[in-house]
């Protein structure tokens, strides 16, 4: 049973991370906890949209939420999530540099042709 839960959670976490707005939200929250009214002006999205995104990250257990008076404060639950993102970036960078390398080789062979 735990096995199934882990693979479900795995997909849930990865799905939550696979959206540009949510990645920006995480980056924004890397500076520490913020209430929604602070977050909103930093994003060019409607309040309902941001709220929904925050909730998706919360449901995936990536964000923590605490209600403080009439405000709701969100923060990163486990900074390990940034390690994941960094690894993805690292993979992406490897791909890009390989592409650039291929580009150079291609260019060189095109020049040699003339």
The residues that touch a second copy, with contacts defined as CB under 8 A, are: 2, 5-7, 9-11, 13-15, 17-20, 23, 61, 78, 80-81, 83-85, 87-96
Q: State the Cα–Cα distance between residues 85 and 64, nearest whole angstrom.
A: 18
Between residues 8 and 107, which has the closer beta carbon with respect to a second copy?
A: 8
Which residues 74-113 are close enough to bind DNA by CB under 7 A? none
Tokens of 1: 């049973």
Tell me how crowded residue 60 is: count the other CB atoms within 10 A of its CB. 19
Beta-carbon contacts of 78 under 8 Å, excluding residues fewer than 6 positions away, are 62
**Residue 9 contacts which entry, DNA, a second copy, none (Cβ below 5-8 A, type-dependent):** a second copy
Comparing CB distances to a second copy, the nearer of 37 and 102 is 102
Contacts of 72 (CB under 8 A, 6+ apart): 35, 36, 65, 66
Residues that bind DNA in the complex, under the rule CB under 7 A: 15, 18-19, 21, 35-37, 40, 44-49, 51-56, 65, 69-73
């Amino acid at each position: 049973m735990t096995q199934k839960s882990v693979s479900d959670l795995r997909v849930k976490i990865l799905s939550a991370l696979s959206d540009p707005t949510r990645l920006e939200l995480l980056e924004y929250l890397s500076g520490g906890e913020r209430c929604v009214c602070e977050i909103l002006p930093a994003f060019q999205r409607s309040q309902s949209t941001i709220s929904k995104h925050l909730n998706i990250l919360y449901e995936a257990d990536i964000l923590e939420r605490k209600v403080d008076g009439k405000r709701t404060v969100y923060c990163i639950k486990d900074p390990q999530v940034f390690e994941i993102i960094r690894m993805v970036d690292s993979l992406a960078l490897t791909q890009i540099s390989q592409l650039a390398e291929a580009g150079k080789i291609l260019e060189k062979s095109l020049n040699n042709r003339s």
